Amino acid sequence: MAKKTRKYYFGIFEDGPILKIAQIINSNGHPILIDLKKTEMECSIYHEGGRNFDTQTPEIESEELIMESLPGISLGEESELDSVISPHEHLLSIFPLNQGRIGLNANDEKLSINYLDRSIRSLSRRDLIKLNLLNADEMRDKEVMWGLVQTAQDQTCILIHKGENRLFSYLQKYNQIQSERKYYYSLIDSNDISLINAVRMNYELNKEDDLLVIYLGFDYKKGILMKGDEFVKSLPILTSSESIDLEHEICSRLALYQDEMEIPHVEKVIVCGEYCQDAMIDAIANTFPAAEVSRFKFSDLLFAEELGEELPEEELAAYVIPISIACKILHSKSTQILQTNFLEKKVIKSQKIVQFSWHSFLMLAILLGISFTFTNNIMDIQNQLNVLEMQYETKKGEYEQIKSEHDPGPGIQDEIQRLSNQLDKMKSLYNNKAIWSQILESLTKMFEQNPVSWLTNIQGNSDGFSIFGSTTKRENIVTISSCFPEGTIKSVQSSEWENQIIWTFEIRYRYLPALPIVQSWGDVSEQQTREKPKEATDSPPAEATGSGQVEKPESASSANNEHAMKLDPVLEEYRQISEYYYEYKHDELIIKAQEFIDKYPRNILAINCRYLLGEIYLRREKLTEAERLFDKVLSVESPMEPYALYQQAQIYRKTDRPYLAIVNLNLLTRKYPKSDVIPKAKSLLDKLADYHE
């Protein structure tokens, strides 16, 4: 299998003298974070001093440069950079910008925000801008770009960017020196929209909740007020350039907004940016005592192995905007993402993969002709199908008539009922045999582990069973009593034989409610199955005890004690689901398992039911439902976690998401090295070896 070429997505965010870059890759729609870097510049690229990067760059001593981290840059006499590399050039050279798409933030100083009490849907976008904010000359100006965002109050928020975007101009000039390949620039975003998109991609919010997102950067400090996941307004947080007590100054500004009724009673406050340390979060929590205040967290972001140790939450929260910009490029067609592009129209047009011209319309006409032909063919096939359906209904009526004429009668029905009763008796005998098979196997192992002890008799009754035995070590009696649940030592007597004390004992147990969860599909022959699975998978045997704990048993058993089940109706319901599984009554299992989950959502056995449903959906190729169920199994700690990780990795492989499958399998091998599913996991990892970087 040939290795697929990675496609990179870069988010570049310039906040005053700080330049940050986030790099992600796409794994079938899921973002995987590859690298995060930032640098501190002498002055902002957006400011006058940063416009001409090849003349205004601060000088760096040659011994400070790391040659290996600057690919493609020549430091010889003929270099266009004259052996001078600025901090932002040093940062950009580390990333393979010419191998992916670049998104960056617009100059916040040149952005103006306006609110109109009308919906985007009530008027065309161009007329909405032209009639209210821009004149005809500004509409034609290539350096005037605008975008629209619908707010929660059904208003229209208009963002207008006037003037040159210097960060974009700088990157174009940097591209000409660094590489002959054309960079792909996309979705030059405003910082406010980046924060809204970050919240939408990582949080599930109630539509009626008021949310405040606070970003605290070097120059960019802003509060974004949202209603659920809908934008309401943005609130600038102004601070002095030489602030001594930044926490007090920011909290005072937020308190002022509250007093002015610009911020309603908020249920949740999310803090991100450079200054989202614990002390700042505590100070903001004191300002909003009734709200849940927390640091921004990513829920839809995976982390590549190249990052090494897990990144701290503070560092990830500081990179919210560049990561959001990169993810926006990845999900550029998602309706959940707010779309605003401040690139010049000619740049946008030059980067389009498909551009319409006269030959495009010719191709469109050909496609319409082909579609017309296909439509006629489909109509002919539909007419033929209608005729066949009429013939089918006729044959069905004839069949019903013949069937009624050859009704087997009550005698045959009685015989079928008699045979069914005999079958139920056979099942009962088989279940009793399974109970004693498990008991004897467990006792055999227990006496093997405790030598100089032997079993003399076993007696069973409706409530449980008793064993009688002897041993030369009295302490073995206590160990043997723990072989089954509720083991009780009823009697112990001593006697002497050839100068050796022998202890004779009686121990009473309760029957084991050993209910198996799953079995290996490979162990069932084709004649025994009602539906042949497409691919055998490994399923973990497990048993549910009366206390609600899920344990891995030494042997599987399909029986349960009738008296114990009367004491625990939950186990009785789960036993019925287990029988459906082993009898391959999958339709009945799906109904009963879902009812069990709805009825006992917090019971540990509900995890087993979700796993059973996920396995059956996997075999029926209902991959979306199966993946959702395995996600719920993995959301809590349980013994089913290693098996759910393996099953989910198979789903990722089937749905062309190999990198996610590798992440799952690596987690499985590290966290459960002794699990019985490890050999299969390693085999699957070998099949995915071509995707390893």
Please provide the DSSP assignment of 521-539 as one string. GGGS-TTT-SS--SS----
CB 296 within 8 A of CB 281: no
Q: Which residues contact 221 (CB under 8 A, 6 or more apart)?
A: 215, 236, 237, 238, 239, 250, 273
Three-class DSSP category at 127: helix
H-state helical runs in 260-339 = 278-287, 313-318, 320-330
Three-class DSSP category at 16: coil
Three-class DSSP category at 476: helix
Low-confidence ranges of the chain (pLDDT < 50): 1-3, 51, 53-83, 514-567
Give Cα 232 distance to the centre of its chain.
28
- Look-up: residue for tokens 């907004």? 257
CA angle 97, 346, 157 (to 5 degrees): 90
Three-class DSSP category at 491: strand
Task: For residues 131 and 113, give the distance between their C-alpha atoms in angstroms, rounded to a whole number.
Answer: 16
Q: What is the pLDDT of residues 157-208, one digit of tens each?
A: 888 888 778 888 888 888 877 777 778 887 788 888 999 999 998 898 888 8
Would you state the pLDDT for residue 598? 93
Backbone angles phi, psi at 492, to 5 degrees: -140, 125
Would you state the pLDDT for residue 539? 44
Would you state the pLDDT for residue 553? 35
Three-class DSSP category at 158: strand
Q: What is the pLDDT of residues 368-397, one digit of tens each?
A: 889 888 898 899 899 999 999 999 999 988
Task: For residues 289 and 82, give the distance between their C-alpha atoms in angstroms, rounded to a whole number.
Answer: 56
Counting DSSP H helices and E strands in the chain, the numbers are: 21, 20
Would you state the pLDDT for residue 678? 93
Task: For residues 50 and 484, give the distance between their C-alpha atoms in angstroms, rounded to a whole number.
Answer: 77
CB 185 within 8 A of CB 168: yes
Nearest-CA neighbor of 423 among 592, 588, 591, 583? 583
Q: Which residues is 268 bridged to in the sheet?
A: 211, 292
SS (H, E, C) 64-111: HCCHHHCCCCCCCCCCCCCCCCCHHHHHHCCCCHHHEEEEEECCHHHE
Nearest-CA neighbor of 223 among 285, 272, 188? 272
Would you state the pLDDT for residue 489? 86
Give Cα 211 distance to the centre of its chain.
23
**What's the pTM value of the predicted model, to 2 decimals?**
0.49
